[in-house]
Amino acid sequence: MLPGRVVRGRQNPLHWKQPARLRKARKASKLSASALALAAGVNNSSVAHLEAGVGVPRLSTVERIANALKLSPAYLAFGTEGPWEPMEGVALRCNGLAARAREARTTRGLSLREADRRAGRADGTLREFEAGTMPGLDTLEAVAKALSVTPAWLAFGIGPMEAPARRSRLAAAPTRSNLPGVP
């Protein structure tokens, strides 16, 4: 469920536009919601609910729908551009989440508790990730931000691992010395 208000000055989560991306892709493929659900192997009402913004989908659901639409799951989930690549066998890319989460956390020298705290999630969230529990897009995006990795890499192993450095507000604020025409 999406919040009714957005805090000014903060970037909206990448997954918020997932319903619109899904609707656009489904219509472009000329499939009904139920036909797409059948092709993706998900619950008959899942596609319609996701397009309506009811709830936040789990990674496995997004990947199955993306594969049925021949889209990159990273694009459908987070808007990250990239080509669709057919999967060999039956495994989903998101099944590698546990190993990627562990790698990112240990590379940064974070404990499970510290990573959960940075993500603003309950204790045990990252432990569940690392045990193979499939999270929703909202939780995954918060954890990716806390680990300074891209959500697409953490979720699906697509794209670069490292999140781009963000400008700090202080560095971006104009000062008298960096204004044009001011000595």
The angle at the Cα of 149, spanning 71 to 125, to the nearest 5 degrees, equals 95
pLDDT by position in tens, the chain (length 183): 555 555 565 555 566 678 888 999 999 999 999 999 999 999 888 898 888 888 888 889 999 999 999 999 999 888 888 777 877 666 899 999 999 999 999 999 999 999 999 999 999 999 998 999 999 888 998 999 999 999 999 999 988 898 877 644 434 444 444 444 444
The angle at the Cα of 119, spanning 12 to 5, to the nearest 5 degrees, equals 30
> pTM above the 0.75 mark?
yes
Residues 37 and 15: their CA atoms lie apart, in Å, by: 20
The torsion defined by the Cα of 158, 161, 162 and 166, in degrees rounded to 10, comes to 30
Let me know if the fold of 14-78 is the same as that of 93-156.
yes
152 phi and psi angles, rounded to 5 deg: -65, -40
For residue 86, what pLDDT is reported?
77
Q: Which amino acid is at 142?
A: A
Contacts of residue 57, Cβ cutoff 8 Å, sequence gap at least 6: 18, 46, 50, 136, 137
Of 116, 76, 74, the closest CA to residue 94 belongs to: 74
Instruction: For domain 14-78, say whether CATH 3.40.50.1360 is its number.
Output: no
For residue 175, what pLDDT is reported?
46
What are the residue boundaries of the structural domains of the chain, listed by start?
14-78, 93-156
Return the CATH number of the domain spanning residue range 93-156.
1.10.260.40
